[in-house]
Amino acid sequence: AKQIVAMREEFKSNVKFMLMNSFSTSADTLEFLQKGYPALAGETGLEMMQNKVPKLDATTLEPATCESDPSNEWCPPGHGDLYAALEGSGCLDSLLADGYKYMFVSNSDNLGASLDLSILTHFAKSDAPFTMECCERTENDKKGGHLAVRNSDGQLILRESAMCADEDEAAFQDTGKHRFFNTNNLWIRLDKLKEIINANGGFIPLPMIKNKKTVDPKDDSSQKVLQLETAMGAAIECFKGASAIVVPRTRFAPVKKCNDLLLLRSDAYLLENNKPVLNPECGGKAPTMALDSKKYKLVGALEEATTGGIPSLVKCTKLKISGLVSMSSKTSFVGDVSIVNNSDVRKAVPEGEVTGDLDLTAA
C-alpha cells in the first residue's frame, strides 16, 4: 500500500491497485486498509473474491468434514484462480473497457515485489503476451516451482513440487539442473488473456495440483485431505510467445514460513523505499534458514521464541534450530550455526557471538 501511494505521488498517475482476497483474508485485509489507508480502501474495484472449493477426503475423495470448525472444510483453489476471479467478477472486462492493457501480479507475501518501470518498459517493447520474473535457485528455494522448456514444442512451462513424482524429487530440487525458479511476479497483457479465455470457453486451462493437507491446518492429527489447486504462474504455458527474465533477489523476499519471517525481521535485511532489501554486509546471499518445522510452524511460536528481540543474522551463513529455544537481540549468529535442544523445556541461546554446533539439551 505504501508503494502504491508513493508511486502515485511521484509519477502523478493513478496506478490501479487491486487485491484478490479469499473468504478467510478479506475482512482482515479491508479492516487494515480502512484504518491505515482509507483512500485506498474506498476505491472502486479494489477487491475481487477468490472462489472456494471443498477439501476432499484423501481416501474416499468425498468432501471432507470438520465438526470442530465447519469453515475448515473449504479452501481457496490456489492463486491460479486469479484468472477465473478476473473473468467471473467482470473485473477483466471493466479493466479492458477502461483502457488498461498491462497487469503486474505478485503474491502479497512477496515483500520484494514492486511495479518496476524498467521491467514494464521492457515488457511493453517486447510485445510478449506474458512475462515471468525468475531468480536463480539456491538451497533456500529448491522446493519451489521451476521454469522448464517443453521438449515437444519449445513452450515455456512451470513445474511445481506438488506436480513432481516422488522418485523425481531429487532431480526436481537439483539447482544445477533446474537453475531458475518462478518468483510469481508476472506481467500479463490483459487483451491477450481475454483472447485465451474466450478461446477456451470462458476459462484458462491450467494443470491441476493435488496438495496433501489436514482438514484442520492447526492439527496435524486431523483428517488427511487433498486440496485441488492451480498456480497462476502455470499460465505461462497458455501464452504463445511468453517469455521469462532473470531478476535480482531484491525482487523476491517472500514470507511463507517462520524461516522467512525471522530472516526478514533481522538485520540481514534493510528497509529502503518501503521495500526490504538484502543487507550489503551479507555479501549478496541471504543466510540459509532451517527452523524446526514442528516447533515453529505458526507465527505465535516464533513470537514466543523472540520475546527478547531478534538476533543478528548479518554475519550468519546458515542457521539450523531443532527444539524449543529463546533468542535475544543481544545474540549474533556467525557463520554456520546449529542449535539443538532435545528436552521439552525451552532453553536460552547465549548472548554474544554464537557459531558452530551448540547443544542446549542439558543447559
CA of residue 230 relative to chain centroid, distance: 14
256 is catalytic: yes
Residue (of 354, 352, 360, 351) closest to 323 by Cα position? 360
What is the DSSP-derived secondary structure letter of residue 323? S
What is the residue-wise DSSP string for 14-75? -----EEE-TTTHHHHHHHHHHH-HHHHTSTT-EEEPP-EE-EETTT-SBP--TT-GGGGEE
- Sign of dihedral through CA atoms 274, 110, 315, 354? positive
**SS3 for 273?**
coil
**SS3 for 5?**
helix
Please identify which of the residues 2, 210, 240, 256 carries the catalytic annotation.
256
Are the CB atoms for 264 and 111 separated by under 8 Å?
A: yes
For 176, half-sphere exposure in the C-beta direction (CA atoms, 13 angstrom radius) is 1
> What would the grid cell of residue 125 be?
517493447
Are the CB atoms for 311 and 331 separated by under 8 Å?
A: yes
Neighbours of 349 (CB within 10 A): 23
Element (H, E) at 174: none
Residue (of 80, 123, 15, 49) closest to 232 by Cα position? 80
Residue (of 309, 246, 318, 251) closest to 286 by Cα position? 318
For 42, half-sphere exposure in the C-beta direction (CA atoms, 13 angstrom radius) is 5
Catalytic residues: 256
